């Protein structure tokens, strides 16, 4: 059965998934990159970004690798695709990642402003969805050909899907740090009342990995 999954999603101990003041120069906001320090040294991350095979191969690496295993499509919020706000001024912005993004499958971007699909190197095609989270999920499931769909974020997009009860499982990489402010994952949510439970916890080298799923 196909599932909608949140995987390897970095959060601080106080529940923030990005720092304040996100910008072109600071896509994760101030101090936001600290949320990803658990994955940066891993072999999985190094390979994905054109590095060597000399990265670490411990628990953090194994869980990062598992996040890319059986995904047939992705869903991203517009902020995850780029810093452009409002109507698209032109077709020049094609994501943070250069000509070969790390997705390699159809990727659906939530937006209020239509745009033609963008075919990138490596099998990634960005599709821009203007009719909401349910439509994006329906299209992603169809494009995934029976595989799971990964929800990449950001926090606001994850909250929308949680509130609608559409996420089947979440893997949160909880960093031992306090951001104090920024984009809160849990703002306005009662995850227990929405039917979610923590069913597994795995200590890693630089993060504690917590796994949530819908009860029953």
Closest CA to 107 of 62, 80, 74: 74
Does residue 154 have a cis bond before it (omega within 30 degrees)? yes
Whole-number Å distance between alpha carbons of 136 and 33: 28
Highest mean pLDDT among 53-57, 65-69, 169-173: 169-173
Do residues 135 and 113 touch, judged by C-beta distance below 8 A? no
pLDDT tens-place string over residues 171-208: 999 999 999 999 999 999 999 999 999 999 999 999 99
Q: What is the pTM of this model?
A: 0.93
- Sheet strands side by side (includes 169-175): 118-119, 125-129, 106-110, 71-76, 148-153, 4-12, 169-175, 208-214, 196-203
The alpha-helical segments, DSSP class H, found in 114-198 are 133-143, 155-163
- Give the residue, 55 or 114, on which the prediction is more confident: 114
Give me the percent of the chain exceeding a pLDDT of 70: 98
Name residue 214's beta-bridge partners. Answer: 196
- Of the pLDDT bands very low, low, confident and very high (cuts 50, 70, 90), residue 50 is low
Place of tokens 């899907």: 161
Closest CA to 8 of 121, 178, 150: 150
pLDDT tens-place string over residues 83-124: 888 999 998 999 988 999 989 999 999 999 999 999 999 999
Give me the percent of the chain exceeding a pLDDT of 90: 78
Whole-number Å distance between alpha carbons of 146 and 149: 9
What tokens were used for 33?
A: 């990159």
- Of the pLDDT bands very low, low, confident and very high (cuts 50, 70, 90), residue 17 is very high
The alpha-helical segments, DSSP class H, found in the chain are 43-48, 59-66, 78-81, 133-143, 155-163
Looking at every residue in the chain, the average pLDDT score rounds to 93
pLDDT tens-place string over residues 145-161: 999 999 998 999 999 99
**What domains are there in the chain, each with its CATH number?**
4-83+100-214 (3.40.430.10)
For residue 51, what pLDDT is reported? 63
Closest CA to 78 of 21, 183, 23, 156: 156
For residue 52, what pLDDT is reported? 64
């Amino acid at each position: 059965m196909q599932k909608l999954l949140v995987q390897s999603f970095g959060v601080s101990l106080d529940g923030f998934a990005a720092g304040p003041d996100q910008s072109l120069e600071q896509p994760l906001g101030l101090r936001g990159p600290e949320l990803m320090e658990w994955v940066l040294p891993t072999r999985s991350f190094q390979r994905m970004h054109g590095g060597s095979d000399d990265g670490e191969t411990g628990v953090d690496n194994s869980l990062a690798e598992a996040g890319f295993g059986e995904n047939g499509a992705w869903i991203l919020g517009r902020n995850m695709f780029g810093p452009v706000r409002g109507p698209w001024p032109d077709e020049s912005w094609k994501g943070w990642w250069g000509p070969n993004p790390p997705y390699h499958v159809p990727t659906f971007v939530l937006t209020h402003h239509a745009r033609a699909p963008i075919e990138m190197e490596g099998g990634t095609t960005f599709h821009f969805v203007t009719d909401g989270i349910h439509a994006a999920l329906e299209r992603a499931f169809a494009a995934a050909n029976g595989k799971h769909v990964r929800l990449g974020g950001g926090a606001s997009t994850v909250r929308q899907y949680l509130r609608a009860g559409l996420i089947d499982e979440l893997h949160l990489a909880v960093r031992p740090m306090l951001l104090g402010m920024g984009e809160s994952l849990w703002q306005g949510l009662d995850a227990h009342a929405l039917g979610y439970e923590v069913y597994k916890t795995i200590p890693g080298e630089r993060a504690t990995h917590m796994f949530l799923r819908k009860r029953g």
